[in-house]
Amino acid sequence: MKILFCGDVIGKAGRQAVCEHVPRLKKAEKIDFVVVNGENAAHGFGITAKICNEFYEAGVDALTTGNHVWDQREIIAYINSDPRLLRPHNFPKGTPGRGAAVFTLADGRKILVLHVMTRLFMDALDDPFACVEKVISGYTLGATIDAVIVDVHGEATSEKTAMGCFLDGRVSMVIGTHSHVPTADARLLPGGTAYQTDLGMCGDYDSVIGMKKAPAMARFLTKMPGERLTPAEGEATMCGVVVETDDKTGLAVKISPLRIGGCLQATPA
């Protein structure tokens, strides 16, 4: 199985990059399943129902989010009606939406997508390690489930790396999101789980992590709130990974970083 996972989408430029490249990649690379982190897709803050549908029409199968999931208030009433849109699973009990879902491919193979948020330098949510343990204990990789994808949305590289080690050999891939900067550590862990600390963003890198430079710099230079941050509007780089899994075991056999367009050095696609 081949799975494409795209990093945090920032604003219109990021959306356009994803919607342009995903259909081509699905066909050219014979991608079976596409996950996109869309938590900054709506002008840099949150996601809307309309944007969700734009991604689905482009061939995206599942959407994850993160700490900005509720920035667009309309999503609170919408999220329960959309089984493909996930919020971090370790929100307190009673929070709208879901953070884990099983998707069935046309050929019958089943994929579990599990989304959690870390706690270091982030909101004080429930324990993400206990959360993932509880969910995956209900499945056997390679037997009752064909692939398990874990989006770990977090600030601290140490916490995301620890999650990769914790799940190694029990899930297909542990992929970090949130920092908007792609890390250079994409690899197969000893137990066969594909791992990268952060995918980076799908957005304009001639920016401050996707936002226009002047207002962002002013906040650091003056320590005043100033102008509202807005997404940079230049050509975006689509950042992500393609992970290939063994259909017999569900474990990964290859992870390939992906960077297309914009000002970052491209990778083969």
Name the residues annotated as catalytic.
68
Q: Which long-range contacts (CB under 8 A, 24 or more apart) does 182-185 make?
A: 182/7, 182/239, 182/257, 182/259, 182/264, 183/157
CA dist list (Å): 25 to 7, 20, 264, 265: 15, 9, 19, 18
Using N-to-C axis directions, what is the helix angle for 11-28 and 49-57, rounded to 10°? 30
Beta carbons within 8 Å of 36's beta carbon, 6+ residues apart? 5, 6, 9, 18, 22, 55, 60, 62, 63, 64, 202
Closest to 263 (Cα-Cα) out of 224, 226, 229, 237 = 237
By CB neighbour count within 10 A (0-12 exposed, 13-18 middle, 19+ buried), where does 193 fall? Answer: buried
- Tell me phi and psi for residue 205, to 5 degrees: -80, -5
Length reported for the chain: 269
**Gyration radius of the chain over CA positions:** 17
- Enter the tokens of residue 212: 């226009």
